[in-house]
A and B are shown apart, each in its own frame.
Chain A
Amino acid sequence: MKLRTRLVAFAFIAASVLSLSIVKTTAAADLSDEQLGRIKSNCLSIKGSLNQLHATDALLRVNRGQIYEAIGTKLMSNFNARLSNNSLDNKGLVAVTQSYQTAQVTFRDDYRIYEQQLSAALRIDCTKEPAALHEAIESAREKRDIVHADVLRLNQFIDDYRLAVNDFMLNFDRVTGKS
């Protein structure tokens, strides 16, 4: 009975190790020898491009982040507070602001994950580990797409808030009896 249990445990571990190695081999197998050779020979130019992208994206993150932060804290939140202080209905605006702030947090986190992945790719020696570099770049590419989706979502919430302000003004005009 004990032997049987041990055999099952061994088979389970062996299967796990084997499947892991197959997954790794498949990822590496996606690359042809020619591609591996190209990565090695273009190593310097690839690293240069990655370094440049790293710097421009960092600048973009800082500049975009400042604008998103200003819109959220200096404009949206304060406008909502002013409506609230005047006992006016601001539920729609508050809902959009909360979604916007959540999207901002997601954007910050996703950018951090992307930047860490790109930095990890930059640390790889492409002359010795071309397959690892390829894998790291592919991963960074996916993460950058996620960051782009976050930016589009934030822009959408900026538009939504503006529409909510228009709705508020329509109601406000109706309530105050102005045309």
Chain B
Amino acid sequence: MDDNTTPQPDNETLGFWDQHRFMLLIAGTIVIAFILVSVSLVIYNVSGSAQLDLSRPGLKSVSGKVDRTNVVTDYSAFGPVTKDTVKTFTDAYDAQAKKAKAVDAFNGDPLNPDVLEFADPTASAE
């Protein structure tokens, strides 16, 4: 009968890294999670997604006012081109164009010191 069982190393013969493998696993996981979250946040801010996120603090008052009624059907890229199919397109296009131009977005000057009531009174008097 063969008795060649491998002897198990006791704690004293194990190196530092072997003794703390579990703690290193936890620490490594936390570090990787931190890096991934940081990268995600950078992408969130740089890509412009943050500007579309109405659930941010201060924007909750308007988050329910997003226009969900404007459902635009995809115009099919396949099929014949006839006067009727072009008319179907122009009707859909004109409707959207009208909506796009209905409001002169970002017009006016709401950041004018006069509007915000800290203008120099001497400057306006001149």
Q: State the CA gap A63–B66 with chains docked (Å).
A: 6
A58 touches B51 (CB 8 A): yes
Q: Which of A50-78 contact B (CB under 8 A)?
A: 50-51, 53-68, 70-71, 74-75, 77-78
Interface size class of B (residues with CB under 8 A): 35 or more
A144 CB contacts on chain B under 8 angstroms: 106, 110-111
Q: CA A158 – CA B113 in complex, angstroms?
A: 34
* B100 CB, min distance to chain A CBs, angstroms: 5
What separation, in Å, do the CA atoms of A46 and B112 have in the docked complex?
11
B64-112: which residues lie under 8 A (CB-CB) from chain A?
Answer: 65-67, 70, 72-81, 83, 85-86, 89-90, 92-94, 96-97, 99-101, 103-107, 109-112
Q: Give, as a whole number of angstroms, the nearest-CB distance from B87 to chain A.
A: 9
Does any Cβ of B come within 8 Å of A35's Cβ? yes
Q: Contact at B51–A59, with CB atoms within 8 Å?
A: no
A82 and B67 within 8 A (CB)? no
**Least distance between B112 CB and chain A CB atoms (Å):** 7
Q: Residues of B with Cβ closer than 8 Å to A?
A: 48, 50-52, 54, 58-59, 61-62, 65-67, 70, 72-81, 83, 85-86, 89-90, 92-94, 96-97, 99-101, 103-107, 109-113, 115-122
A79 and B75 form a contact (CB under 8 A): yes
Within 8 A of B (CB), among A133-155: 134, 137-138, 140-141, 144, 147-148, 151, 154-155
A-B contact pairs, 25 of them (CB 8 A): A35-B113, A35-B119, A42-B118, A46-B118, A49-B110, A55-B62, A58-B51, A59-B65, A60-B106, A64-B100, A64-B105, A70-B72, A71-B100, A74-B75, A81-B77, A82-B79, A112-B48, A141-B109, A151-B106, A154-B100, A155-B101, A159-B97, A162-B90, A162-B93, A169-B83
Residues of B near A112 (CB, < 8 A) are 48, 50-51
User: Is the Cβ of B105 less than 8 Å from the Cβ of A148?
Assistant: yes
CA distance A75 to B72 in the complex (A): 9
Which of the listed residues B70, B76, B97, B122 has the most CB atoms from chain A within 10 Å of its own CB? Answer: B97
Sample of 11 more A-B contacts, CB < 8 Å, known A34-B120, A51-B58, A88-B81? A55-B59, A59-B59, A63-B66, A64-B100, A64-B103, A77-B77, A81-B77, A82-B75, A115-B51, A134-B118, A137-B116
CB-nearest residue of chain B to A165: B90
| Residue in B92, B107, B110 whose beta carbon sits within 8 Å of that of A75 in the complex | B92
Contact status of A60 and B103, CB under 8 A, knowing A144-B111, A165-B93, A178-B83:
yes
Q: Which residues of B contact A162 (CB under 8 A)?
A: 90, 93-94, 97
Query: Is A45's CB within 8 Å of the partner chain B?
Result: yes
B75 to chain A, nearest CB (A): 4
Q: Give complex CA distance A111, B101 in Å.
A: 18
Are B65 and A57 within 8 A (Cβ)?
A: no
Report whether A49 and B116 are in contact in the complex, using a CB–CB cutoff of 8 Å.
yes
